[in-house]
């Protein structure tokens, strides 16, 4: 997986702006490329421990994709705890839909694919490379 350095910069900058809470957003690109990252409001009841992407932003991205816009390939969020591995909470809320999950903790990132059988989700680590475009 290749990640645009601009998208990664936006994720890390947004995460560092609020280190006490999980911040989150959407990833756009294709199966091999994270081109863009958009921050979204975290509407979780306890944003210090979990995240929930604002459903209005999520549905707007899906509508835009169906109308020919950018493809929604996954989600990103921060872990103030400092661990880039998906948590048990992440696994419980994830769908086994093949979407990419990028987790940032401090200056480290982890990239994962949510897969599995039926509703049982597991995360598979995805090797990545950061690409700076001219």
Reply yes or no on whether 22 is catalytic. Answer: yes
- Give the active site residue among 22, 35, 38, 52: 22
Give the integer Cα–Cα distance in Å for 40 and 37.
10
Tell me the sheet residues that pair with 124. Answer: 113
3-state secondary structure of 3: strand
Give the integer Cα–Cα distance in Å for 69 and 61.
8
Give the integer Cα–Cα distance in Å for 7 and 36.
5
Tell me the sheet residues that pair with 24. Answer: 40, 77
Active-site positions read: 22
């Amino acid at each position: 997986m290749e990640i645009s350095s601009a998208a990664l910069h936006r994720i890390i900058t947004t995460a560092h702006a609020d280190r006490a809470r999980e911040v989150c957003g959407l990833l756009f690109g294709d199966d091999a490329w994270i081109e863009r990252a958009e921050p979204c409001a975290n509407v979780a009841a306890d944003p210090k421990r979990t995240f929930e992407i604002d459903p209005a932003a999520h549905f707007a991205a899906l509508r835009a994709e169906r109308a020919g816009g950018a493809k929604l390939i996954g989600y990103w969020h921060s872990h103030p705890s400092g661990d880039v591995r998906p948590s048990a909470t992440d696994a419980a809320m994830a769908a086994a839909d093949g979407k990419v999950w990028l987790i940032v903790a401090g200056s480290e990132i982890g990239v994962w694919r949510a897969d599995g059988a039926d509703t049982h989700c597991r995360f598979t680590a995805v090797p990545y490379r950061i690409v700076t475009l001219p």
